[in-house]
Amino acid sequence: MTLSPMTPIIVGVGQFTELLGASNFEGLAAYDIAVRAARSAMDDALSLDRLRTVVDAIATTRTFEDSTPRRAQPFGKSNNFPHSIASRLGVEPRTAVWEMAGGNTPQHLVNEFSARLAGGEFRMVLIAGAENISTARWLQSQGRRADWSETVNGPVENRGMGLQGLALRYNIRHGLIGTPPYYGLCENARRGRTGQTQEQYLQTMGDLFAPFTKVAAANPYSSSHVKPSTPEDLITVGERNRMIADPYPQRLIARDQVNQGAALVLTTVGVARELGIAEDRWVFLHGHADVAERELMQRQDLGRFPAAVMACKSALDQAGLTVDNIAFFDFYSCYPIAVSSVAIDGLGIPENDPRGFTVTGGLPYFGGPGNNYSMHAIASMVERLRSKPGTYGLVGANGGYLSKYSTGIYSTRPVAFIPYNSKALQDEIDGWSAPIISEKPDGWATIETYTVVYTKGAPDYAVVVGRTANGERFLANTEAEDSQTVEDIHEGDPLGRRIFVRSTNRGNRFAFTEERMDGLLPLRRPTFRDSYEYALVERRGHLLQITINRPEVRNSLHPMANEELEGIWDAYEADPDLWVAIITGAGSEAFSAGNDLKYTASGKPMWMPRSGFGGLTSRTRVKPVIAAVNGFAMGGGTEMALASDIVVADERASFALSEVRVGLIAAAGGLVRLPRQIPKKIAVEHILTGRPILAEQALRLGLVNRIMPPGQALNGALEIAEQILAVSPTSVRVSMKVMNEAEEEASAASTPSEFLDELFTSEDYLEGPKAFAEKRKPIWRNR
């Protein structure tokens, strides 16, 4: 057929694996492993010497270390991964892309750059990636050192970590950390749909993956010396195959402790002919698609992956093929459900299909080099297709928690390239109906699906997706140290079982009986304690005076202080003899500096009371609160003042929603209340700059009721309190109710926002508190 010279093709593939203990082991950095693979790919096409000046774009996948702070190792890294690779190859690209995280990204990059090559934007593109997690962990275990830090100049399109839609506060709060519990929930949901017992389903997973081990054993690039395994080898739990998360023993999940790299060289038919690249090197992209599944809790059936199935079917339709026409498959195989939900349930391929489901050996056996696995799948697929010209291969690449999927149909058979926009597919996916979520369920419910997370082979905690009596979905996990419920979950089949759930500040907790829950988390009548750790509480007749007592950190609040204040406010609201409350800060410097950023930067657990910052900002009250602002109020300090009914300020006081200066936002009601309490445009200026409002300006704007001389803010608050105490407390209470109904500020301020998850998965969110704790200027990335 006559081909346009702009038709994109793959002309070179390369892989490299460094085995611990091998005679040629060098302990290479990740970028050096990628360079070895890239050299092989260039030589596979023609030669590095002849192609290095032709490559005008490089794109790399993201290492695990650059994907999430949890993966950091102590040996340093490149500041510019694409250019670290390019400089070693002698390549000077006009464009460098550092792709976001996701196992789908190798295939996505092929799809993207094929279209950009077809559009004439580039002549030749190098796509590469690697991991050296095995070496890093070995060095740490041996107490050895290495220095892989590198600063490389060169413009790069850094697409960021890409955690949006994956790392959600609600999910993390309920024990969904890392991939095993997410996939465990989905796998057990699929088991429920298929009607299999736990034993039957475990055998099914072993039967699915045993053939993968044979492919891995024959693959020279496997991450270790793999031997073929029987299903029983994979599913029998023991010292070398401990449980990770129900229903997975270790040998059924991806192995990321690897040193592996792969690379691809893409160009056009015209450039390949110009350079003399042999046509038996050419592989064409016949169909492709990129989609994103909805977030876990928004899926109707947690045991299916319909977005991925749509992507595969769309790619097949573009190629004019059916699954029967495909000779080779590689379905992403981090966990069994990643294969079974797409290939078996979605495309109808028999479980024992002789074509098999992998050309590499899969992530648990060949190796799972982070986001780069499917680069190996594409490279292996190209080699298979070259060995059998005219046949077709399908690569399906999964990212996240069955969250993103990219697919490609390949063949040596020439075909015109037709760019494909997956927007119509994505619009359909985004339009699917979703279950109603109950953020804070209480009472009896049933288990929709579950998992038990293990630590060093021992059960640690359980997570359930549940349904309330009216069908709303929720997440809950066991209370810390509740080993009894963790043990009880394995008494019979947990699916569909009745549980009792209770919402707490730290998330939803479940047990199998109400009595057990009451023993773990007893419902206590709101009452004052004899003493407090972070506050001083003084009762003066019908008046309650609360003093935040952390002057050593400018009265900033961490989770424990917030929770303590919540209990004080609960007791205030419940006590009929208390009619008015005043809140102030200890010392003369600060009312409250807001969130304790040093605590935030420490990485310790974070949570917020359901009643908001300081136990106050999300609370609907029927009793008045007066804020005596005796110094500066920053961030959450200003938000507590905004949530108060009356504000008296020391003339030295200042107010600032300063969160933007440290990579946060005023999420405790400040963004809602300040534009309502002062002119909006002035509020927006102060919100977006973090610039303080001084006491005199605050008085003019109506943010405070009165200003007092230095050190007299509390006295001013007491004067107003006495005036309120002199009138009818019933009238005051009813007046508060009417005003609350009219304004509904508290409910608006406490409404969860998806934008907070966008913030909390950004690099700037991590950088702000870290820079504050290290007493340096933040380096903002805007990603």
pLDDT of residue 783: 61
The single-letter DSSP state of residue 545 is E
Residue given tokens 């981090």 in the structure block: 334
User: Would you name the residues annotated as active-site residues?
Assistant: 639, 659
Which among 570, 550, 551, 545 is positioned nearest to 560, based on CA atoms? 550
Q: Look at domain 8-168+252-413+421-430 and name its CATH class.
A: alpha beta
pLDDT of residue 753: 55
Buried b (16+ CB within 10 A) or exposed e, 102-117: bbbbbbbbbbbbbbbb
pTM: 0.88
Q: Where are the domains of the chain?
A: 8-168+252-413+421-430, 443-520, 535-773
pLDDT of residue 606: 85
Strand, coil or helix: what is 578? coil
pLDDT of residue 751: 46
Residues 6+ apart with CB under 8 A from 750: 612, 617, 618, 669
The single-letter DSSP state of residue 340 is I
Residues 6+ apart with CB under 8 A from 434: 294, 298, 299, 300
Q: Which CATH architecture has domain 443-520?
A: Beta Barrel (2.40)
The DSSP H or E segment spanning 197 is none
pLDDT in tens, 600-654: 888 888 888 989 999 999 998 889 999 999 999 999 999 999 999 999 999 999 9
Which residue ranges in the chain fall short of pLDDT 70? 1, 69, 742-761, 764-766, 780-783
pLDDT of residue 733: 85
Q: Which CATH architecture has domain 535-773?
A: Alpha-Beta Complex (3.90)
pLDDT in tens, 534-585: 999 999 999 999 999 999 999 999 999 999 999 999 999 999 999 999 999 9
pLDDT of residue 746: 47
pLDDT of residue 744: 59
User: Distance between CA 97 and CA 172 in Å, rounded?
Assistant: 30
